[in-house]
Every structure is written in C-alpha cells, then in structure tokens.
Amino acid sequence: MNSGMNSGMNSTLVFGGTFDPVHRGHIESVCAVARLLADVDVYLVPCQIPAHRPTPAASPEDRLKMLELAVGSQDRMFVDDCELRREGTSYTFDTLLDYREKLGESGSLLFLMGFDSWVTLPDWHRWEELTNLAHLLILERPGADQESPDVLRRWCETRQVQDPKEMMNSASGNVCFLSLDQIDVSASGLREAIAEGGSIQGHVNPLVMNYIRQHNLYTGASSKKKMPANEWSTNG
C-alpha cells in the first residue's frame, strides 16, 4: 500500500478488480463515488488470482503498475497490493477482514462493485458474511443485467438503504444501489481492441496507454515485438 491506513476516523471505500487493464470506467466511477460520499479514503485493490474468472492476461506486476499510473497522486486515493502479496486465490472476504481488523470495530467500510459483479455474488466465498465486515455499494453498469437474482433480492430486503451516505454512519451491514453517469467501457473490450490492432484512445489514461504499448501487452504476441508508435497516440 502506498499510504498508511487511516485510523478509523474517516470512511474507507475499497474497490477490487482484475484491472486488466484499468480504464476510465473504473477511475471515473470510483472518483464520482468518492465525490458523492465526500469524506472517504479510497483503496483500489487488484486481485492476484480471481476466484471466478480466467487468469488475467497481464501479470500482477503490470496490472499494479498500470493502476498506479492511472491513480497518480490523487488526494485520498491509494493502490493497495494486499491481494498480490497474499498466496492463492483472492477472496474479497479475506481482504475486507484485513481492512476490518485495521479499522477497528466501528470504522465505516464500504466495498464498491459494478452490477455485473453483484449478480455473481452468490458464488463468492462466504458472500453472506461480507456485510458483517463492510457495506456493499453497487454501481449500475452499461450492458449489465438490471435485475438482481431472487436470492440476492431476498437477501437485500433487510439491508438495503437508498442513500449511500447513510453507510458512513455505521461500520457495515447495508447494501445500496447507485446510478451515476455510466461509462461504457470494459477491460475485455479493450483487450479485444488491442489484439485486433484497434484504438483504445480515450478509454484509458494516456500513461496507461503508453505502458501497454511499451510492454506490448494484450497483443496476443508471444514475442516482445514492439508495436509501431504511430498506431498509438498518447492523447486521451
């Protein structure tokens, strides 16, 4: 982690993902949520081995580096490599348990996810216990289902709140759905575009775009062949 964890005075927002690669949808969404909550420390947590999806195309080191480039030196926003340092499959439960231990019993802890992740929750390790550790904040996402599966709808009944700020007054236990300006970009779409030689300009931070080009990521090429520089503008 590139900063010491706060002492529990403020709320903490954790945003996990493969970030393969990190894109505008991630950064602008988490920034919009942070602005809305107004007084929150944000931690972006790249996973090592995702539990329910194929191994990421880029290495953990590359995904971490791209995330650090995208986050830069934004106030109260940090990249936390805790899952990369942990052995084996990355479980959100374990990560939130670590945060809870560091924050103490009363610090408000929120976990942010897109709706496409939310609908898979019943497959997650110890998913029903996640709200013992944190609040869950779910963002609408372009192209994702609009309806929660029945099991989640029922589970939410006693937990749901309408205003995410309510979550900042308690440690854990609630679920809230948020609809913000949606940014229609996905990491899989970007990987496909790169593999097909297309442009990803405007969808990722220019520094991330440069990193992808310099390290020849997502091209599907096994060799370290450099891409022609003129195919890759760094404006974005």
Per-residue x/- mask for ligand ATP, residues 3 to 22, rule CB under 6 A?
Answer: --------------xxxx--
The residue with tokens 């779409």 is: 189
Candidates 3-11, 65-73, 80-88, 185-193; binding stretch for ligand ATP (CB under 6 A): 185-193
The residue with tokens 């109260």 is: 76
Binding of ligand ATP by 187 (CB under 6 A): yes
Q: How far is the CB of 154 from ligand ATP (least distance, A)?
A: 22
Among 112, 122, 96, smallest CA distance to 26 is for: 112
User: Could you tell me if 35 and 27 are in contact, meaning their C-beta atoms sit under 8 angstroms apart?
Assistant: no
Q: How far is the CB of 184 from ligand ATP (least distance, A)?
A: 7
38 contacts: CB under 8 Å, gap ≥ 6: 165
Q: Concatenated DSSP letters for 125-185?
A: TTGGGHHHH-EEEEE--TTS-SS--HHHHHHHTTTB-S-GGGGGGSSS--EEEE-------
The whole-angstrom separation of Cα 140 and Cα 178 is 6
The whole-angstrom separation of Cα 77 and Cα 170 is 21
Q: How far is the CB of 119 from ligand ATP (least distance, A)?
A: 10
When binding is defined by CB under 6 A, the residue of 100, 141, 203, 213 that contacts ligand ATP is 141
Binding of ligand ATP by 59 (CB under 6 A): no
When binding is defined by CB under 6 A, the residue of 3, 59, 160, 188 that contacts ligand ATP is 188
Number of residues that bind ligand ATP (CB under 6 A): 18
Binding of ligand ATP by 183 (CB under 6 A): yes
How many other β-carbons are positioned within 10 Å of the β-carbon of residue 22? 26
Q: Nearest residue by C-beta to ligand ATP? A: 114
Binding of ligand ATP by 94 (CB under 6 A): no
- Site residues (CB under 6 A) for ligand ATP? 17-20, 25-26, 29, 113-114, 116-117, 139, 141, 183, 185-188
